[in-house]
Structure 1
Amino acid sequence: MRTPYQIIADHYAASDRGDIAAMVADLADDVQWTEMAGFPCAGTHVGPRAVVENVFQVLGRDWEGYRFTLTALLDAGDQVVGIGTYSGRFRATGQAMQARAVHVWALQGGRVTRFEQFTDTLLVARAMAR
Structure 2
Amino acid sequence: MRTPHQIVADHYAASDRQDLEAMFADIADDVQWTEMAGFPCAGTHVGPAQVIEKVFKVLGAEWEGYRFVLERLVDGGDTVVGIGDYHGRNRATGKTMHARVTHVWQVQGGKVRRFEQFTDTLLVARAMQ
TM-score w.r.t. length of structure 1: 0.98
**Structure 2: where are the runs of 5+ without partners?**
none
How far residue 102 of structure 1 moved from its aligned partner, in angstroms, is 0.1
Aligned to 1:99: 99
- The residue type paired with residue 76 of structure 1 is G
Amino acid at match of 2:71: T
Name the structure 1 match of 2:49.
49
AA partner of residue 122 (structure 2): L
| TM-score, length of structure 2 as denominator length | 0.99
Trace 1:1-130 onto structure 2 (pairs within 5 A).
1-129=1-129
SS at match of 1:66: strand
Query: Partners of 1:9 and 1:107 in 2: how far apart?
Result: 12
Residue identity opposite 2:13 in structure 1:
A
Percent pairwise identity: 74
> 1: distance between equivalents of 2:21 and 2:128?
28
Name segments (4+ residues, structure 1) moved above 4 Å.
none
Long gaps (5+) in structure 1: none
**Cα offsets for 1:89-112 (capped at 9, x unmatched):** 000000000000000000110000
Letter in 2 for 1:34: T
SS state of the match for residue 93, structure 1? coil
Following the alignment from structure 1 to structure 2, what is the Cα–Cα distance between the partners of residues 94 and 86? Answer: 16
